[in-house]
Structure 1
Amino acid sequence: MAGDRNIFVVGLNDFNRQRLETLRGAEHWRFHGVIDPEAVYDTEVFDIAAMLEEATEQLEAFDGSVDAIVGYMDFPVSTMLPILCERFGTSTTSLSSLLKCEHKYWSRRVQKEVIPDFIPNFTAFDPFDDEALTRIGEAGLYFPFFVKPIKSSGSRLGFRIDTPEDFYHAIEKLREDIGLIADPFNVVLEHAELPPEVAAVDGGFCMAEEIIGGWQCTVEGYVFEGEVVSYGIFDSLRYPQVLSFFHYRYPSGLPEPIQAKMRELTDTVMTHIGYNNAAFNIEYFWDEVQDRIWLLEINTRISQSHCDLFEKVDGISNQQVAIDLGLGQRPDMPHRQGDYAIAAKFFYRVFFVDAVVTRVPSADEVAALEADFPGTMIDIQVVEGQRLSSLPEQDSYSYALALVWMGADSAEQLLEHYDRLSARLPFEFDQVEG
């Protein structure tokens, strides 16, 4: 039909295509995939140069207008978008403003310029430097502290360090695996103009940061023509005594003055960074005891984990924001027009060192559970015969076997429904290492 807009989605899969078709305005949009989803989802090996070349060839070969190029995933998709959008003249933020969020050392330096009281003490270090622990101490960081790569994906290769032994264990893992992200991230850095002090700290470096904590939450927002808009705040609730996430909950249960301060900090830092015409989310902690807010990190995308929760509570997925911005228009996002007062994404986990999966819920068992809890979606993450240690993108402490999205009338009802559902998920294991 005349007037249809062509929207290219990096890593588009069938699940997300169905959701995109329900957005406001979708009857005038044609969605096209760029780069197979397998190349960005189910792997830890990213050949960025090859993917950029492949995407460029696909887009150049398209017989029609390229009206938007979007994505809703973290690395490597988020970092490729500014490069592709610049090549094809579509709307998104600049590569340098994106890297001021994604390059953790550069991001902390920029944050320190405008909100120094809301970030932890930090320093960068080279994990291949045998004197790294001494240098971290010289920078004023003492046990306990946290280490993670300059560019990480999910919670991988993040470690709490309480002793020198912890540090050397972490260093061993970092030296082994950091190249999986460092090498492709360095390809992206080659496309950007970096200040000398940032250029010296490439993807092979790590961050050491003062431990921060408290009630964790995420502010979802976007910048449109210089205006910062925060349109949802989520709670990230962890399993007791461990770092692994239990569930994401929307809307947040934080006190309103704390939420208002987080929105103010978000406005300050995103404006200072020069981020524009793109979506983001920022993770914060509220330390209730000290009544202190900490900025944890900035992500340059909508959160896919939040899509269904926005749909359940507000009436439409936050993918609306990514698509509208990609088309250069103000996002058309409803508020509290969904079927539920509250919603959550739960992570059904086991806390093993390793094991082999011998039984997973069947399609019929999953369908029966979804029918018993209306509005629920269950996504099994493992298959029979799989060794848990082969799962990509896991944290350092547990394995997520299933993802469960649920809506409810209250936080109490939500947890009660999840407890009943999770008790009926039949997983079995062999060769368990506890």
Structure 2
Amino acid sequence: MSVRNVFVVGLDSINRERLENLRGAEDYRFHGVIEPAEVYDTEIFPIEDMLASAEARLREFNEPVDAIIGYMDFPVSTMLPLLCKRFGTRSTSLESLLKCEHKYWSRLVQREVIGDYIPRFTAFDPFDAQALQHIGEAGLYFPFFVKPIKSSGSRLGFRIDSPEDFAYATARLCEGIGTISEPFNFVLEHANLPDNVRAVDGGHCMAEEIIGGWQCTVEGYVFEGDVVPYGIVDSIRYPQVLSFFCYRYPSRLPSAIQDKLQQLTRQIMAHIGYDNAAFNIEYFWDEVQDHIWLLEINTRIAQSHCDLFDKVDGVSHQQVTVDLALGQVPDMPSRQGRFKVAGTFFYRVFFVDATVSRVPSAEEIEALQQAYPGARISVQVEVGTRLSSLPEQDSYSYALAYAWMGADDDAALEENYARLAEQLHFEFEDIVG
């Protein structure tokens, strides 16, 4: 069998290491296309130029282009169907992807088949002075949540409890929404959209009924029309805020709830027509009401879950992405890893802003990784970093480091992280509390 060439948008050293440890990787050659800094360390996305650059790089390649993949949210996930279509590689259709990523279209499609499991919602224009009135006319009242039609992570998402909250949120939205709305609108121009969706472009926002409970993510894929959920990860937040504390795998949800989540996942992804690609769906289970809510659908694996699957199942779930792109049934193992449980922890500060004056040294990080078997730490800042300059942050905190850890049970996992976090020494100046 000849070596197969897999191109990865935004390939960095961490993910190259993960990819080269996949099953069958000895038969693959991984190539980067578009520099990591262009998709990681920025909030400026000239998507037309990025596509042109990627196409030129691929056309210069003098061997077969067997697959083009990515493992990031916008703009990578949204670019892939356009790039794959140009080179005849496997991907879901642009329209099926947008039925997941365009939040208003996604809710409309979800309402067609699982309407009891989604919140009340409406779209609005943040530049419209009457936006709050229109939201009320649509039957949404305080409190509610607002976010852009297309965003990345938890960026520009706000809980609204009063007119003052709404005024603050819309000011922030109007200031920042263009960085994604303009490139997202470029993608929309290439799609066949219903008229009611085309009228709600990337400059619009969503208002949704507040939902909550036990949050989790169903990771899955579709191969030749067969929808396969293969893992559920719990998402645990800091008390009283929207910021994530950790992701934990495998889920501790009751088995009946996990079964229902898988059923809903199969139902909605089949209805959307999504195919030959990976996805994940975020849900809430309201334990008090015993009710499930679908939060959103993402058209990729969750990169922050890669080490969790590696630690518990034996390989990163990038296995799924690569196999699908090559037209193969994913060769994803189960419970063959080194640990019984694993977590991705977010080391955060809750300042309004500050400048970093000290970060843990490479020697300190290495000592911690040696002290906790299986631990991996990735520091996201350096001395001199202004926290407000960090991309892809939520509206309430800053993630300074990620720590991936494994253990034999939940208690040991949490205890190990608590001890590790105490030894991660950052310092700051010019703190705005």
Question: How high is the TM-score relative to the length of structure 1?
Answer: 0.99
Q: Which residue of 2 aligns with 1:256?
A: 255
CA distance in 2, matches of 1:430, 1:191: 47
TM-aligned CA deviation for residue 57 of structure 1: 1.0
Q: How many residues align?
A: 433
Distance in 1 (CA, whole Å) between partners of 2:423 and 2:49 is 44
Deviations 1:49-101 (A, max 9, x none): 01111111111111011110100100000011111111111111000000000
Q: Which residue of 1 aligns with 2:229?
A: 230
Shift of 1:146: 0.2
**1:280 match:** 279
The CA deviation at 1:19 is: 1.1
SS in 1 for 2:72: coil
**3-state SS of paired residue (2:206):** strand
Deviation readout 1:388-431 (Å, 9 max, x if unpaired): 11111111111111100000000000000011110111111112
Which deviations, in whole Å up to 9, do the C-alpha atoms of 1:130-152 show, x marking residues without a partner? 00000000000000000000001
**Secondary structure at the residue paired with 1:45?**
coil
Q: Does 1:428 align with 2:430?
A: no
- For residue 270 of structure 2, what is the aligned residue in structure 1? 271
Partners in 2 of 1:385 and 1:103 — Cα distance? 36
Aligned to 1:247: 246
Q: Give me the identity figure in percent.
A: 71
**1:91 corresponds to:** 90
1:133 alignment counterpart: 132
Give the equivalent residue in structure 2 for 1:166.
Answer: 165
In structure 2, C-alpha distance between the alignment counterparts of 1:22 and 1:315, rounded to whole Å: 10
Partner of 1:377: 376
How far is the alpha carbon of 1:15 from its aligned partner? 1.4
Query: Deviations 1:280-334 (Å, cap 9, x if unpaired)?
Result: 0000000000000000000000110000000000000000000000001110000
Matching residue of 2:52: 53
**Counterpart-to-counterpart distance in 1, 2:417 and 2:17:** 25
Counterpart of 1:430, as a letter, is E
Corresponding residue SS for 1:115 = helix
Query: 1:101-143 deviations in whole A, cap 9, x for unaligned?
Result: 0000000000000000000000000001100000000000000
| 2:360 counterpart letter in structure 1 | P
Deviation of 1:344 after TM superposition, in Å, equals 0.3
Q: Give yes or no for the alignment of 1:148 onto 2:147.
A: yes
Q: Distance in 1 between matches of 2:388 and 2:4?
A: 43
The answer to whether residue 201 in structure 2 is matched with residue 182 in structure 1 is no
Distance (Å, rounded) in 2 between the aligned partners of 1:390 and 1:33: 26
Partner of 1:34: 33
* 1:400 aligned partner: 399
The CA distance in 1 between the partners of 2:388 and 2:372, in whole Å, is: 31
Aligned counterpart, 2:13: 14
Q: What are the within-5 Å matches in structure 2 for residues 406-421 of structure 1?
A: 406-421=405-420
Q: Distance in 1 between matches of 2:182 and 2:259?
A: 39
Post-superposition offset of 1:354: 1.0
How far residue 237 of structure 1 moved from its aligned partner, in angstroms, is 0.1
Shift of 1:378: 0.5
SS at match of 2:141: coil
- The equivalent residue for 1:320 is 319
Q: Which amino acid aligns with 1:52?
A: L
How big is each residue's C-alpha offset from its partner over 1:245-301, in whole Å with a ceiling of 9 and x where there is no partner?
Answer: 000000000000000000000000000000000000000000000000000000000
TM-score by length of 2: 0.99
| Separation (CA, whole Å) in 2 of partners of 1:342 and 1:96 | 37
Amino acid of the structure 2 residue aligned with 1:198: V
Q: Separation in 1 of the partners of 2:357 and 2:93?
A: 47
Partner deviation per Cα, 1:346-376 (whole Å, 9 max, x = no partner):
0001111111111110000000111100100
Instruction: State the alpha-carbon separation in 1 of the partners of residues 369 and 250 from structure 2.
Output: 22
| Amino acid corresponding to residue 249 of structure 1 in structure 2 | R
The answer to whether structure 1 residue 212 and structure 2 residue 211 are counterparts is yes
**Ranges in structure 1 where 5+ consecutive residues have no aligned partner:** none
User: Given the alignment of the two structures, is residue 330 of structure 1 paired with residue 357 of structure 2, yes or no?
Assistant: no
For 1:238 and 1:338, locate their aligned partners in 2 and report how far apart those are by CA, in whole Å. Answer: 26
Distance 1:82 1:428 in 2: 43
Query: Which amino acid is the alignment partner of residue 304 of structure 2?
Result: S
Alignment partners' CA distance in 2, 1:182 and 1:273: 23
1:384 to partner: Cα distance: 1.0
* 1:223-243: CA deviation from partner (whole Å, max 9, x where unpaired): 000000000000000011111
SS class of match (1:153): coil
